[in-house]
């Protein structure tokens, strides 16, 4: 005699009156959002625990649906730092010279005349 096997989805729909699948769906949506944000993988784990009813007859079981999600962790913010001769850290590159920047307009400069054909500077004040 061939057993008629009920599709598991039919059983899952009945767990906690459908709330188990609703919860699993919400957790899947959270997982997808985290994957899109972090560009890393995660897991949705659906666990079904089945135990005999203690003190009951053999035809009764307790079934629990458990949905857990392992979200990917975002990378913490990072900074680039340089090592110093004293083995300390600095945000300043020790091998780069300082730029002596000035605010435009602090010093007045006379206009420079340039020959547009040759590019030669004609006069400098």
- Give 103's pLDDT tier (boundaries 50, 70, 90): confident
- Give 47's pLDDT tier (boundaries 50, 70, 90): very high
CB 45 within 8 A of CB 54: no
pLDDT at 15: 96
Task: Tell me what the mean pLDDT of segment 42-62 comes to.
Answer: 92
Task: Tell me what the mean pLDDT of segment 97-123 comes to.
Answer: 77
The more confidently predicted of residues 72 and 109 is 72
* Per-residue tokens: 108: 């007045």
Domain locations in the chain? 8-70
Q: How far is CA 29 from the centre of its chain?
A: 15
The more confidently predicted of residues 65 and 103 is 65
User: Looking up tokens 């959270």, which residue turns up?
Assistant: 30
User: Looking up tokens 């899952």, which residue turns up?
Assistant: 12
Q: Is the pLDDT of residue 108 over 80?
A: no
Q: Which residues pair with 114 in a beta bridge?
A: 121
Task: Tell me what the mean pLDDT of segment 12-20 comes to.
Answer: 96
The more confidently predicted of residues 69 and 93 is 69
The pTM is what? 0.59
pLDDT at 98: 84
């Amino acid at each position: 005699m061939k057993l008629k096997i009920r599709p598991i989805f039919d059983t899952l729909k009945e767990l906690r009156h459908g709330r188990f699948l609703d919860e699993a769906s919400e957790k899947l949506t959270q997982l997808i959002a985290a994957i899109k944000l972090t560009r890393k993988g995660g897991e949705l784990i659906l666990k079904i625990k089945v135990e005999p009813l203690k003190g009951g007859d053999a035809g009764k079981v307790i079934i629990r649906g458990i949905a857990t999600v392992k979200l990917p962790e975002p990378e913490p913010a990072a900074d680039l730092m340089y090592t110093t001769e004293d083995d300390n850290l600095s945000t300043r590159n020790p091998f780069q010279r300082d730029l002596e920047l000035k605010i435009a307009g602090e010093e007045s400069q006379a206009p420079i005349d340039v020959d547009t054909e040759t590019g030669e500077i004609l006069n400098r004040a």
